[in-house]
Chain A
Amino acid sequence: SAVISQKPSRDICQRGTSLTIQCQVDSQVTMMFWYRQQPGQSLTLIATANQGSEATYESGFVIDKFPISRPNLTFSTLTVSNMSPEDSSIYLCSAAAETNEKLFFGSGTQLSVL
């Protein structure tokens, strides 16, 4: 099983600023994903982080708002740009060793935007 370290675990940010969340996996993985979980809701996929190329975004999410990097097979970042209170949520990094393998999750980043 993969161990995923995600940081920061929580942050309180001002409107209009940006926050970068880091995700480190303890082994090389094929698939890395970023999810958002709003209060009382389930997980919504933001994007698939592709190693060495641009991320693949889901409907409703755009690169300018949520730029993602994945420089290698163990690390990814998600930036929440120009934040507004509507961005207050838990952001979760996840990874799977191979396609259709079970997903492991980081511990999440609790973001509050004032």
Chain B
Amino acid sequence: GQNIDQPTEMTATEGAIVQINCTYQTSGFNGLFWYQQHAGEAPTFLSYNVLDGLEEKGRFSSFLSRSKGYSYLLLKELQMKDSASYLCASTGSGAGSYQLTFGKGTKLSVIP
């Protein structure tokens, strides 16, 4: 089975840095995705971590620790448009299968 936990809501100030944590317990873990979802829209891909460590992509960075079952998404220089839900998702698959399980999402509100 798979269990993914992330905070329900967070609030941060424009221009600041925010870290959204995700813990997971999965069988056959393969990698960890982060998606952004604006209200009323489909999720869009942000990052995918397979190896331990930090991956930086512009204002967004994602970190993974496989031994701790832990990931975070770091957003720098926050902008109002970053207000959205951020979904953590893990892949847990055996050979020949693929399944993405999503957390409930963290609703981030960026305030002036």
Contacts and interface: CB of A to CB of B under 8 A. Distances in A.
> What's the interface size class on B, roughly?
20 to 34
A53 interface: no
Contact of B44 (A48, A96, A105): A105
B4 to A, nearest CB: 9
A100 B31 contact: yes
Contacts of A99: 93, 96-98
Contact of A100 (B89, B93, B103): B93
A104 B93 contact: no
A31 interface: yes
Contact of A42 (B45, B96, B103): B103
Interface residues of A, number: 19
B102 interface: yes
A92 interface: yes
Contacts of B91: 100
B26 interface: no
Interface in B68-112: 87, 89, 91, 93, 96-105
B101 A100 contact: no
Contacts of A92: 42-43
A105 B42 contact: yes
Interface in A62-102: 92, 96, 99-100, 102
A43 B102 contact: yes
Contact of B45 (A41, A43, A102): A102
Interface string A7-41: 00000000000000000000000010100000001
Interface string B22-42: 000000001101000000011
Shortest 4 CB-CB distances between A and B: which pairs? A105-B42, A42-B104, A43-B102, A42-B102
Interface of B: 30-31, 33, 41-45, 48, 87, 89, 91, 93, 96-105
19 contacts: A33-B100, A42-B87, A42-B103, A42-B105, A43-B102, A45-B100, A48-B99, A99-B93, A99-B97, A100-B31, A100-B98, A102-B45, A103-B100, A105-B42, A105-B43, A106-B42, A107-B41, A108-B41, A108-B42
